[in-house]
Amino acid sequence: MQIPDIIIAIDGYSSTGKSSFAKIIANEFSFLYLDSGALYRGVTLFAVENGFINDQCDIDVSGLEKALENLDLHFGNGGTYIGDRCIEKEIRSLSIADKVSPIAAVPQVRAFVDKKLREFGKQKRIVMDGRDIGTTVFPDAELKLFMTATPEIRAQRRAAEMRAKGEDVRIEDVMKNLQERDYIDSHRETSPLTKADDAIVLDNSDMTMEEQMIWLKEIMAGRFGC
């Protein structure tokens, strides 16, 4: 099957399986996978470690904006890095998840991340997941998906993922975090999470990964003849 040179933008609520699906798509089509949320999580870790956000989620916006000028946040072999320090494990913790939505609502943070993400858009054959990829980062993406699933299924999936990585979490805490993040992500002023008009909805509550792939290939065949 000849896959065209396109950008696939995947948006949706927290823990709907966007990144798992995006990684499988990337593998199947030999695309580059980019996890935009990792950059927001990386900025959040940086903000926590440098005192730009406190436990009440008050943010020193001007201090953070200034510090971002020198922040070397990037993707490398082991995932996400600040300089030569791999931060992949730290950014997946619940303590970072608790603060990432307030940080991601700061317009200066969004501008910092958007600039990095758009650099990748100069090349095609990428699949990127996030909250505003089809609406703001790549509004011209050739294929846009908007993923959703029931809150219970999402919380179970995320808790299982975190437990597999050794973090001891309670379903109630994970569910609360997901709901709070979805609310903040959908209601912020700058680039809120919303379905692009031309995005196709995928509710994967009762779908296996194989079924999602079959669904996608049918869409690709219909749209691109591949």
Q: Which position among 7, 9, 14, 174 is part of the footprint of ligand DC (CB under 6 A)?
A: 14
In the shown chain, the binding pattern of residues 50 to 89 toward ligand DC, with x for contact by CB under 6 A and - for none, equals ----------------------------------------
Site membership for ligand DC, residue 162 (CB under 6 A) = no
Task: Choose between 96 and 216: whose C-beta lies nearer to ligand DC.
Answer: 96
Task: Choose between 90 and 132: whose C-beta lies nearer to ligand DC.
Answer: 132
CA atoms 169, 175, 176, 179: torsion sign: positive
Rounded Cα distance between 172 and 165, Å, is: 18
Strand order in the sheet with 79-82: 73-76, 79-82, 85-86
CB of 71 to ligand DC, least distance (A): 16
Task: Choose between 3 and 86: whose C-beta lies nearer to ligand DC.
Answer: 86
Site membership for ligand DC, residue 90 (CB under 6 A) = no
Site membership for ligand DC, residue 104 (CB under 6 A) = yes
Site membership for ligand DC, residue 155 (CB under 6 A) = no
Site membership for ligand DC, residue 181 (CB under 6 A) = yes
Site membership for ligand DC, residue 101 (CB under 6 A) = yes
Task: Choose between 16 and 212: whose C-beta lies nearer to ligand DC.
Answer: 16
Site membership for ligand DC, residue 138 (CB under 6 A) = no
Torsion of CA 72, 68, 126, 78, to 10 degrees: 40
Place of tokens 């005192």: 51
SS3 content of the chain, % helix, strand, coil (to 5): 50, 15, 35
Rounded Cα distance between 91 and 52, Å, is: 16
Site membership for ligand DC, residue 132 (CB under 6 A) = yes
Question: Looking at 26-34, 70-78, 96-104, 140-148, which segment touches ligand DC (CB under 6 A)?
Answer: 96-104
Identify the three-state secondary structure at position 200.
strand
Q: Are 30 and 38 in contact (CB under 8 A)?
A: no
Residues 24-53 that bind ligand DC (CB under 6 A): 36-37, 40-41
Q: Which position among 48, 185, 204, 220 is part of the footprint of ligand DC (CB under 6 A)?
A: 185
H helices within 60-150, ranges in order?
A: 61-68, 88-91, 94-104, 107-120
Site membership for ligand DC, residue 158 (CB under 6 A) = no
Q: Which position among 42, 102, 130, 134 is part of the footprint of ligand DC (CB under 6 A)?
A: 130
Of 148, 137, 131, 150, the closest CA to residue 201 belongs to 148
Q: Are 82 and 46 in contact (CB under 8 A)?
A: yes
The binding site for ligand DC (CB under 6 A) comprises 14, 36-37, 40-41, 100-101, 104, 130-133, 181, 185
